[in-house]
Structure formats: C-alpha cells, structure tokens
C-alpha cells in the first residue's frame, strides 16, 4: 500500500510505544522511514534497538520544545529523504505532579510544559514538515478521550489533548486548502500500557475499566496493533477524503454511556 512512500515518525521510545505499532504497519506496507528520538545516549540506544526491524533511513535527536532541534531534525529528513509523504506525531508529556495532584493545583509551569510538548509540537512539526512534504501527504497524531470527558488523573494532559484535537482541525483546514492538500487527523486511542500511560496514574485499573465497558475486547496485546492499523488507514490513500477527524480506536469505549 505504501511502496515508494516515506514517513518521518516522532515518538517511539520502545516496542510498546504506539508510534512503534504505527511504524510496524507502515513498514509492512513497504514505507521507508526516518525516526526522531529524545536527545541523550540512553534514549538513542533504546530507540535504535526498537526501530532496527524497520531498517530506518535515518535517526535524529529532537526535543520538540526546542526550535533548533526541530530545525535540525527536518534538515536530517531533507538530507536523507529529499521530500517525504507522511508525518507521525506520537508524543506527549506532562510533569508527574499533573497526574498526582488535583487539577485545581495545576501550576503555570506544568500547564505550559504539557501544552508545549503535547499540543504545540504538532503545529511546530507540521510547519517544519510542510515544505518537505509531497502533495497528498498525511499527518497523524495521537489523542485520548480525556480531551472530551472527565477521566480521573488526566488533569492538565486532558487540556493538552483538547488543544491538540482543536489544532488538528485548524491544521486540517489550512493544509487541506494548501496547494499540496495535506491531510491532518488524530487517532484517539483507548488505554494501552506504554511508558507514558504508566506515568498517568493507575493504568492497570484504567485498562480493567475498558475491559468491563468497551463493546469489543480491549486491553489485551492486540490493542496497540489496532491503533497501528487505523493510523495506517489514515496515513494511506484509503483515507484520501478524510481530514480534520478524531478517529476513535478504543474498542468502542467512547460510545458507551454507562
């Protein structure tokens, strides 16, 4: 499905990462990929190991809070790819205090960090990607239901996801009308046990809740694969008429009202 296509993937830490499951689907469809990792030898080693099966064209450090890192990451993409087709944004961060304290205790600093890493970064990466993206390209980010409804512990990360989803719509409107007609969508994933998810509080209890409530089985090993497959759909020409969407991949959890 993706022979001859190239993707730049942000947000893989290990083979539990949702970004990794997206990359696996892209790789299986013949897509060539470059990857970013958080700066630092420890991160680099983990990511090199995780993406090795995908035969990466390049790996480049990038802390998305730093404009100079973003510029050098896209320079690496330009040097290695020339142009590319797909951008995967699968990253988020909020300080631990955000998940541990009541929402009313949110500090200005924590608010800014969560929004910067988890929402603004999509805008910054899309802007840097646009000159290098081929016409008809596609951008996918990862959101969560807490953007829309109260979920215990999510607090400021929920606000950041709401900003992310709104940014998807604004980017989709602007980039869709751009001469390159780039699509921008989000996958709103159900709870999956990743490192980031473990940091949000009681992920085991959350997954148990999904298992009780969602129409389809959720929380077993296959859940991350489902996320990867739906992201593949949104990134591929199968979704060529789809943009600005928040696409739930959560076993139907969001549709249940009790």
Chain residues binding ligand NAD by CB under 6 A are 11-13, 16-19, 38, 62-65, 90-93, 117, 142-144, 189, 191-192, 194-197
Q: Which is nearer to ligand NAD, 120 or 136 (CB)?
A: 120
What is the distance, to the nearest Å, from the Cα of residue 68 to the centroid of all Cα atoms in its chain?
21
Q: Which is nearer to ligand NAD, 99 or 134 (CB)?
A: 99
Query: Cα–Cα distance between 75 and 68 in angstroms, integer?
Result: 10
216 and 178 Cβ atoms separated by less than 8 Å: no
What is the closest distance, in whole angstroms, from the C-beta atom of residue 31 to ligand NAD in the complex?
Answer: 19
In degrees rounded to 5, what are phi and psi of residue 119?
-125, -55
What is the closest distance, in whole angstroms, from the C-beta atom of residue 202 to ligand NAD in the complex?
Answer: 12
Q: Which is nearer to ligand NAD, 15 or 134 (CB)?
A: 15
Q: Which is nearer to ligand NAD, 64 or 139 (CB)?
A: 64
136's enclosing H/E stretch is strand 133-143
34 and 79 Cβ atoms separated by less than 8 Å: no
What is the closest distance, in whole angstroms, from the C-beta atom of residue 42 to ligand NAD in the complex?
Answer: 11
Q: Which of 143, 236, 136, 141 is nearest to 183 (CA)?
A: 136
What is the closest distance, in whole angstroms, from the C-beta atom of residue 11 to ligand NAD in the complex?
Answer: 4
In this structure, what token pair is assigned to residue 193? 């046990």
Query: Cα–Cα distance between 199 and 100 in angstroms, integer?
Result: 10
Q: Which sequence positions are flagged as catalytic? A: 144, 154
């Amino acid at each position: 499905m993706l022979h001859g296509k190239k993707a730049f993937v942000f947000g893989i830490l290990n083979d539990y990462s949702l970004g990794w499951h997206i990359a696996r689907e892209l790789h299986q469809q013949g897509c060539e990929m470059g990857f970013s990792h958080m700066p630092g030898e420890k991160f680099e080693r983990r990511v090199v190991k995780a993406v090795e099966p995908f035969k990466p064209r390049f790996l480049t450090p990038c802390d998305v809070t730093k404009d100079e890192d973003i510029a050098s990451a896209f320079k690496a993409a330009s040097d290695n790819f020339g142009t590319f087709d797909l951008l995967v944004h699968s990253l988020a961060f909020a300080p631990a205090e955000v998940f541990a304290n009541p929402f009313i205790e949110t500090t200005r600093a924590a608010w800014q960090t969560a929004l910067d890493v988890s929402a603004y970064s999509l805008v910054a990466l899309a802007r840097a990607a646009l000159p290098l993206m081929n016409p008809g390209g596609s951008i996918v980010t990862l959101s969560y239901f807490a953007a829309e409804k109260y979920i215990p512990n999510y607090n400021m990360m929920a606000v950041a996801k709401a900003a992310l989803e709104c940014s998807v719509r604004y980017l989709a409107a602007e980039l869709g009308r751009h001469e390159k007609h780039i699509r921008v969508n989000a996958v709103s994933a159900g709870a999956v046990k990743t490192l980031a998810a473990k940091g949000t509080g009681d992920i085991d209890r959350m997954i148990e809740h999904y298992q009780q409530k969602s129409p389809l089985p959720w929380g077993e090993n296959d859940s991350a694969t489902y996320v990867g497959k739906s992201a593949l759909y949104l990134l591929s020409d199968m979704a060529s008429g789809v943009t600005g969407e928040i696409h739930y991949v959560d076993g139907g959890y969001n549709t249940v009202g009790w």
